[in-house]
Amino acid sequence: MSITVERTLAIIKPDAMDKASEIEDIILRHGFMILQKRKVHLSPEQASDFYVDHYGKMFFPSLVSYMSSAPIIVMVLSKEDAIESWKNLIGPANPFKARETHPRSLRDSYGKDQTRNAVHGSTNNHMAEREIHFLFHDAILEPVLTQLSAKDYLESSVNSTLLKGMTELCKVKPKDAVTWLADWLSVNNPNKPKIAQEVVEPN
C-alpha cells in the first residue's frame, strides 16, 4: 500500500529567532523533511492577510503588529501525517497550557506567552495549503508518494529513459558527462511534446 506524505507550514516567530538552529535540529530529529525554507519580514498588511481568520478578535491587532515587527523563518515541512505530528510537537498556543499538556513541546520550551509562543503550525490540510501558497507562491502541492508508489513511478516513467541516456553516454564518452546527460535528457524527455517543424514552401 502506498503512503502519501503530507506537507505543513511551520514558522519560527520573532521571539524564537535566536533559537532557530535549535528548533530546526529538533524538527529534523523528529523525522520531518524541510522541503523549503526562507527568511522573510512581513509587512503589517501581509501579516494581516496571513492571519485573516483571526480578524475581529481582540488579539488580532497585537498579533499583526508582533508578526510584522521582525524577520521570521518560514518552512514547508514534510512527513507522514505531518500536520498532526507538527501540532503535537509544538503544543497548544498558550505556552502555560503547553507546559501542562505537552511538556517538552516547542511552545513549552521556547514560548513566552500566547502571542510570543515561538512557532506557528497549520491547523488542517486546507490551512496548510493556503498558508504554504501564501508564503511560497511557486510551491507545488501534489502528493508526495513513498514506498511502492515511488518505486512504480521510477520503473514506469524514469528508469527506461535514464537507461537509454546512460547507454548513449557510454558510447559518446563526452568530457563533461553531467552536462551532456542533462542536455540529452532534455531533448529526449518522453513527457515533452514534440513540435513539428513547419515546412515553408518556396514562392
Is 120 annotated in the active site? yes
Top mean-pLDDT range of 1-15, 86-100, 169-183: 86-100
Top mean-pLDDT range of 1-5, 77-81, 192-196: 77-81
Asked if the structure places residue 98 within a domain, the reply is: yes
State pLDDT tens for residues 19-71: 999 999 999 999 999 999 999 999 999 999 999 999 999 999 999 999 999 99
Instruction: Say what angle helices 159-172 and 177-187 make with each other, to 10 degrees.
Output: 130
Of 163, 5, 3, 134, the C-alpha closest to 74 is: 134
Q: Is the domain of 51 the same as that of 15?
A: yes
| H and E: helices and strands count for the chain | 10, 5
Q: What is the mean pLDDT of the chain?
A: 86
Q: Is the domain of 24 the same as that of 51?
A: yes
| pTM value > 0.85 | no
β 72-79/3-12 pair status: antiparallel
Q: Is the domain of 89 the same as that of 29?
A: yes
Of 156, 150, 155, the C-alpha closest to 1 is: 150
Residue 103 pLDDT > 60, yes or no?
A: yes
Read off the CATH number of the domain in which 25 is found. Answer: 3.30.70.141
Least confidently predicted of 54-58, 81-85, 132-136, 169-173: 169-173
Q: Is the domain of 162 the same as that of 86?
A: no
Of the residues 54, 120, 126, 133, which is catalytic?
A: 120
Q: Is the domain of 168 the same as that of 115?
A: no
Q: Tell me which H or E stretch contains 36.
A: strand 33-40
| Per-residue confidence (pLDDT) for residue 195, from 0 to 100 | 47
Asked if the structure places residue 193 within a domain, the reply is: no
Amino acid at site 156: S
Q: Is the domain of 140 the same as that of 46?
A: yes
Report residue 185's pLDDT band, with 50, 70 and 90 as the boundaries: confident
Asked if the structure places residue 64 within a domain, the reply is: yes
Asked if the structure places residue 199 within a domain, the reply is: no
88: Cβ contacts below 8 Å, ≥ 6 apart: 102, 105
Least confidently predicted of 54-58, 95-99, 135-139: 135-139
Q: How many domains does the chain have?
A: 2
